Structure 1
Amino acid sequence: MDVTAADDYFHPRPEDPFWNEASWFSFMAPERDMSGFVYIYHRPNIGYTVAGVAAWDPTGSENYDCLLYDWGEPHKLESGSQMFSFATTNGFAVELLEPLRR
């Protein structure tokens, strides 16, 4: 099965309220000995999104003492939102500029 531009948008979904679409991106800055992730999941049948970021280095090992942990709170999924075009009330935002590219 090939990945297409349609995969950057919500897929047809079943009636199950707990059905979700998710995406995870990791990053690292080796010169700072830092790693992190951006993790998103939407539950459009219920109307919420969980999205955020975490970053850590050797100074911390748990979400309470890492460099940054702003992930895990549910936010209302606004009407018209898409998999990679949405914003949350904590200021996290994603904008799809060009499917499969940016």
Structure 2
Amino acid sequence: MIPPVPVTPIQPSIQTPSIQGATSANNTSSSGFSNFLSQAFNQANQLSNTADNMSAQYAAGAPVSVQQVMIAQQKASLALELVVQVRDRAVSAYQSIMNMQI
């Protein structure tokens, strides 16, 4: 019989950046959004790399459980899905603005 695996809570890996110095002339809302997107892309890439490494370790016989590999794969998949959805919404908003009649 397989011993039960303890369940540990999962912390969200994509953090919303805090806007510092919003009153300065150099900081605009677009740079805050672009920083957020950049961080989201980087974190999604890191999660994907981690999942790939864990899969390779599992295939090589390293002491990595199937559960750990599947959790890492799901984290990477969800992060990529989130980034794609945000990108799609941003493109849709841009297209809506461009189609407005003045």
Calculate the TM-score normalised by the size of structure 2: 0.20
Report which of the two has the higher share of helix.
Answer: 2
Whose strand fraction is larger, Structure 1's or Structure 2's? 1
